[in-house]
Amino acid sequence: MQNMLLNEAIEKYYGLNREDIYASMKMNTIIREEMKLFLDMDGFIEVNPVIISPISDPLNHPVQDPWIDYYGFRYRLTKSMIFHKQLSMVFFDKIFIFSPNIRVEPLDRKSTGRHLVEFTQLDLEVRNAKREDVMEIAEKMIEKVVRRVMEEFDIKFLNPGLKVFKRPYRKIKYLDAKSEYGEDFELKLSKEMDEPFWIIDIPLEAREFYDKETEPGSGILRDMDLIYPLGYGEAISGGEREYQYERILERIKRKGQNPEEFALLLEAAKKGLYPSAGFGIGIERFVRFLRGKEDISSITLFPKKIGEFTI
Ligand code: AMP
Ligand code: MG
């Protein structure tokens, strides 16, 4: 009796239901297991996460850069491992990481249901690959996970719209989607669809400097986002990468960023980087979608909610 009361008090304190959080964390376990098996079988090497580094992803929206004093140097907390992935291509041709990211997201993202301050992405990169190669990997990997969770979980724990989605997913060009649906095309389309779909050919202004232009000066990138259906929004971002020194430098400048901040990347590019393509898929967002939950902070233990003081 005393234990039950204690459990109830704890559940109330954390705003969690034991059975519900168990299902979410079990889903989290299975997603990681299936992804790892799938990638291992496909010849990928798992690289360990980098938590601190002098450089991290600049991102394309304002995110405060948390940093630590590292023997007098300014080391940032990882926002994504994009540059380390590119550098890893020197040693391996296929890599993945379960990469913990810290992004102190702006307050206006508080109610999207999709944003945490601390989350993990399965980040992967393939040497000499094209965008289409990694899109196929994503679709197959998602299918494997979906099949397993549909087998393993009672339907009361699953998104009612979940099914084995037809591959290949539909591809829609960013500018076409925007001209038809307006600025908010991503969410509008996501609500309209019952299958995941790709947004491709994203303009340079909407993305970071490291995704590759279709050709120098075109302003359109060889990249893509995967969007979940039923209103769940973005699942994946990825693309082919700029890897030549001159191109990277030019893109940094065009973005109005300071090349000195990316000196380590530029130095590596001078020595020689490989062409590559890759993507990142947010694990918590995947759990949220599979479980059919509105709020991402309800499916993970100790969520770091935007603007809130939590453990
Ligand atoms: P990005 O390259 O910024 O699009 O991040 C890669 C993926 O990580 C996204 O497609 C999401 O699945 C996930 N992600 C990005 N930011 C967040 C966040 N604040 N909270 C949870 N997941 C996120
Ligand atoms: Mg994105």
Residue 9 confidence class, pLDDT cut points 50, 70, 90: confident
Q: Minimal CA–CA distance to 61: which of 97, 111, 115, 100? A: 115
Can you name the residues that pair with 278 across neighbouring β-strands? Answer: 125, 239
Query: What was the pLDDT predicted at 62?
Result: 87
Closest ligand to C-alpha of residue 116 is 1
Residues 16-41, mean pLDDT to the nearest whole number: 96
105-114: pLDDT as tens digits = 999 999 999 9
Walk me through the domains of the chain, giving residue ranges and CATH numbers.
19-299 (3.30.930.10)
Query: What was the pLDDT predicted at 41?
Result: 98
29-80: pLDDT as tens digits = 999 999 999 999 999 999 999 999 999 999 999 898 899 999 999 999 999 9
109-143: pLDDT as tens digits = 999 999 999 999 999 999 999 999 999 999 999 99
Query: What was the pLDDT predicted at 11?
Result: 80
Take atom 6 of ligand 1 and give the residue whose Cα is closest. 280
Q: Round to whole Å and give the CA distance between 169 and 130.
A: 17
Q: Round to whole Å and give the CA distance between 274 and 271.
A: 10
Does the Cβ of 242 fall within 6 Å of ligand 1? no
Residue 311 confidence class, pLDDT cut points 50, 70, 90: confident
What is the whole-number distance in angstroms between the Cα of residue 225 and the centre of ligand 2?
A: 7
Q: Round to whole Å and give the CA distance between 242 and 222.
A: 10
Residues 261-278, mean pLDDT to the nearest whole number: 97
Take atom 13 of ligand 1 and give the residue whose Cα is closest. 282
Residue from 101, 102, 211 whose mutation best tests the ligand 1 pocket (most atoms within 8 A of CB): 101
The per-residue pLDDT of the chain, averaged, comes to 96
Query: What was the pLDDT predicted at 67?
Result: 95
Closest ligand to C-alpha of residue 233 is 1
Q: Which two tokens stand for residue 156?
A: 């009361």
Does the Cβ of 280 fall within 6 Å of ligand 1? yes
Query: What was the pLDDT predicted at 1?
Result: 58
Ligand 1 atom with minimal separation from the 121 CA: 8
Whether residue 2 is predicted with pLDDT greater than 70 in this model: the reply is no
Helix or strand holding residue 252 (H, E)? helix 245-254
What is the whole-number distance in angstroms between the Cα of residue 276 and the centre of ligand 2?
A: 18
DSSP 230: T
The residue ranking higher by pLDDT, 5 or 102, is 102
Using DSSP's 3-state secondary structure scheme, residue 9 falls into helix
Q: Round to whole Å and give the CA distance between 91 and 88.
A: 6
Residue 219 confidence class, pLDDT cut points 50, 70, 90: very high
Does the Cβ of 80 fall within 6 Å of ligand 1? yes
